[in-house]
Amino acid sequence: LYTAPDSCEGRCGEPFSEEDECHCHAECERHGNCCEDHERHCGPDGFSSSHDSITDQELLELSEQLYGVDHNKARPSDIAINPQHHAGPDETGDKQDRSPQPLYKFVNEELFSKPTYASFIKLLDNYQRATGREEEVTAEELREQDHFLEEVMRTELMKKIFAFLQGKNRYGSEQEFVQDLKEMWFGLYSRGDGERDSSGFEHVFSGEVKKGKVSGFHNWIRFYLLEKQGVVNYFSHNFNGPWDTYPDVLGLQFSWDGFYKEVGSAFIGCSPEFEFGLYSLCFLARPGRACHLSLGGHRLSVQTYPWTKSTYGGGRRFIATAYVMSP
């Protein structure tokens, strides 16, 4: 269902990109760089038809549409941030707090009563941040996962993503799509010591600590809530996106209870469904590769990686990480 980086399944006719491990376009045989299963999928009698591949142009057009239908995003008056120090490349790793003030001057917390925000925030306290410690998932937490998925699927944004993927023969029904989202994001796997201690959702949205460093943690709502509690300390930013409305993109340095994040990146002011949907789309279309998008006329990329050490549902991959790339 998702296009593996080393396979031509769902990729026949996909345009050439230097970032790809192997290729599935018509010229790859001449250049000797086809994926091993190119003939099986893309030959005259192949399994995958070229119209099921997701082109770069389609991703650019769809991401602009998603940007336009993010009805729950923050308005410019809902958030005031104070980015302060702009860190150069030689400063991001030195763990110096160069910004005396918090990043968030103001957030209109009425946003958090919207159904997708409220159900998202309920998920954030379900995790042990240390890798190597098994996650205990309660019945209530499973209900919270289902509730979040129900709420995001009510939005025009997620319905648009599903319709696109269904049109590409990735999913036969919305129920199948939701079940796969639940597995790829909330399914548990081991980042350390064989314990089922991690999931894509925990890593990307809630954040983890591994080998003394912050790992993942790419969500603005989580950052704001922890900064307000005094457990996150904003140090500096190394990138501030060109957007003058939300969502914007910030590359930032911070510490979380003394654990350091050298370069974190986050959408600022987007709805939970926007981030969740965009990362899911990129994971399904360009796993392990840069997924080139356009928001409000500005280009940007999302990077995702599949977890390679365990699978679910007959070889499908969990999400290892997903984040917006700051140049």
Give the whole-angstrom CA distance, residue 105 versus residue 50: 49
* Structure token digits, residue 67: 């940007």
Helices (H), the chain: 28-31, 38-42, 56-68, 115-123, 139-153, 156-167, 174-186, 200-201, 220-229, 272-285
Amino acid identity, position 139: A
Closest by alpha carbon to 249, among 230, 214, 275, 287? 275
**Within its chain, how far is the Cα of 298 from the centroid?**
18
**Within its chain, how far is the Cα of 22 from the centroid?**
24
Residues with a known catalytic role? 203, 218, 261
Judge residue 98's burial from the number of C-beta atoms within 10 Å of its C-beta, 0-12 exposed, 13-18 middle, 19 or more buried.
middle
